Copies of this chain bind each other. A is one copy, B any other.
């Protein structure tokens, strides 16, 4: 299920040049800017080293800035991107939800049955 949903997100997000994880971080910063890596990693449920490396890519892309180190801030460019992406992100969520619901209320049960029957 992780792979299926990640594939759907990727399909909708790739035109924007951001990955699934990167967008999650941008969403968090767009809502509450100026977090430490520690805080970000807790909110995103992302190991601190993984977060660290994601940030490198976001800074390289100019979507996030470490100027106020140790605080992490989203740039104006990052904010614009978030706003542009949201409609496509919603489409991805809709596709995921219909896929999950289409296969029974809790797709996990179905998967369990299929795997362990």
Contact = CB atoms under 8 A, between A and B. Distances in A.
A117 B4 CA distance: 25
Interface string A14-38: 0000000000100110010000000
B2 A5 contact: yes
A53 interface: no
How many copies of this chain are found per oligomer? Answer: 2
A31 B115 contact: yes
Contacts of A100: 106, 108
Contacts of A46: 3
A114 to B, nearest CB: 9
A53 to B, nearest CB: 14
22 contacts: A2-B2, A2-B5, A2-B6, A3-B45, A3-B46, A4-B45, A7-B45, A24-B115, A27-B115, A27-B116, A28-B115, A31-B115, A31-B117, A86-B116, A93-B108, A93-B112, A96-B108, A97-B106, A97-B108, A100-B106, A100-B108, A105-B105
